[in-house]
Structure 1
Amino acid sequence: MKCFDRKRAFRGGMLALLIHHPLFWGGIGSAAAEAVPGETAMGFTLSSEAFPPNGEIPRKYTCDGGDVSPPLAWSGLPAGTRSLALIVDDPDAPDPKAPKMTWVHWVLYNLPADAPGLPEAMQSLPVGTLQGMNDWKRTGYGGPCPPIGRHRYFHKLYALDTVLPDLHRPDKAKLEQAMAGHVLGQAELIGTYQRSR
């Protein structure tokens, strides 16, 4: 009985040492360390001078206006960031009272880590940036155009520990798959829009 207790104590002690050893987490680490969707890394922020968090997106950035991309700015990138990815989507489609899908408005990746943001009505991408497909089956920005009700538009910026290969105009799912295990942090900005009738 004493021998069994001693073995059990030894095994428990070794497990405790392993769990607290950095190499243990490094070995299984990227998934455990990856940012949880919706969680913002400390100090990593995404903002727009066009609208406040949870505020109304001005008409000019929607299908009812010029349908141009809003200005975006970010700061506080996590250490080790080598590139950024941006996904803008609407989880309230087609009706916020009965959502059935998430509509993707914009997909960008390999934004350079030293870029401070994106200008309004962006005409040319920062050097090295690649585009993915939105749900209109085209690249580029497509502004809010909700068929009914007030929708939320999630602007999600991901800091990655790598520069991704050319994914040849990926959709959101393919980009997320490529980013898996490389996300150091996520910043999020939500805007809303409802069309006037």
Structure 2
Amino acid sequence: MAEDPYERFGAVPQFTVTSEDVADGRPVAALHRGSKGNTSPQLSWSGFPEGTKSFAVTIHDPDAPTGAGFWHWAVYNIPPSVTSFDRGAGSAGGSMPAGALQLKNEYREVGFAGAEPPDGTGRHRYYVVVHAVDVDRLDLDPESTPSVLGFNLHYHTLARAVMVPTAAFDDPD
């Protein structure tokens, strides 16, 4: 299994992300799988540093057989007063807070794409990361990729909250 994708960029302070739906090191429920519900998980975050001016939330699978991983969700310019997302907020018909912007996932669709590891590729890790950002807004082209967001976050992240649920092709429903 590949290393932590954030490890090589240097440490930043950590804060806490929790969820009613997914948990660190635990399999993702069918509701949050691509072909079995495709519903974004509920998330809450706390303990972020003073000076946080906005947040970004990303979900990335570094174990996808692509060489670059697979981006499942990328939301940025989340106001600092927002410290949670309801279940389904990033799914079709979901509701994002005013000002928050979602980028297209790897399927070229705006919003959340559920876990869907291909058969024969083993257990995948899904890095659910909330980034505390030092600027009110990142001025990205709305057609930017989540990788471009990640590049910009590298220079603007004050702290990170990380949770890593898992999924495999043959996980039970």
Same fold (TM over 0.5): yes
Does residue 101 (structure 1) correspond to residue 57 (structure 2)? The answer is no
The residue that corresponds to 2:116 in the other structure is 145
Q: Which residue of 1 aligns with 2:145?
A: 171
Q: Which residue of 2 aligns with 1:110?
A: 77
CA root-mean-square deviation: 2.1
**Partner amino acid for 1:110?**
N
Contact 1:39–1:186 (8 Å) recurs in 2: no
**Cα gap change, 1:131/1:194 in structure 2, threshold over 3 Å: closer, same or farther?**
same
Moved more, 135-144 or 44-53: 44-53
Among candidates 51, 62, 72, match of residue 91 of structure 1 = 62
Q: Which is worse superposed, 130-139 or 172-181?
A: 172-181
Q: Which has the larger radius of gyration?
A: 1
Q: Secondary structure at the match of 1:158?
A: strand
Assess, with a 3 A threshold, how the Cα gap between structure 1 residues 196 and 176 changes in structure 2: closer, same or farther. closer
Q: Is 1:129 aligned with 2:104?
A: no
Where structure 1 has 5 or more consecutive residues not aligned to the other structure, the ranges are 1-34
How many residue pairs align between the two structures? Answer: 158
**Amino acid of the structure 2 residue aligned with 1:152:** R
Amino acid at match of 2:87: E
How do 1:55-74 and structure 2 match up within 5 A? 55-74=26-45
Distance 2:163 2:141 in 1: 25
Stretches of structure 2 lacking an aligned partner (at least 5 in a row)? 1-6
1:40 touches 1:187 (CA, 8 Å); kept in 2?
A: no
Q: Which residue of 1 aligns with 2:3?
A: none
Is contact 2:53–2:80 with CA below 8 Å preserved after alignment? yes
| 1:19-76 alpha-carbon deviations (Å, 9 max, x no partner) | xxxxxxxxxxxxxxxx97584624x111111132111111111023211101111001
Q: Which has the higher contact order (CA 8 A, sep 6+)?
A: 2
Deviation at 1:165, TM superposition (A): 2.1
Q: Secondary structure in 1 aligned to 2:165?
A: strand
1:180 is displaced (CA, Å) by 3.8
Residue among 183, 186, 190 paired with 2:157: 183
Taking a change above 3 Å as real, the CA distance of residues 40 and 51 of structure 1, as seen in their structure-2 partners, is farther
Distance 2:118 2:138 in 1: 35
1:37 and 1:113 mapped to 2: Cα distance?
Answer: 24
- Greater CA drift, 120-129 or 158-167: 158-167
**1:109, 1:185 → 2: CA distance?**
15
State the shift of 1:164 in Å: 1.5
- Larger helix share, 1 or 2: 1
Correspondence for 2:19: 48
Judge conservation of contact 1:54–1:190 (CA < 8 Å) in 2.
yes
- CA distance 1:119–1:38, shift in 2 (3 Å): farther
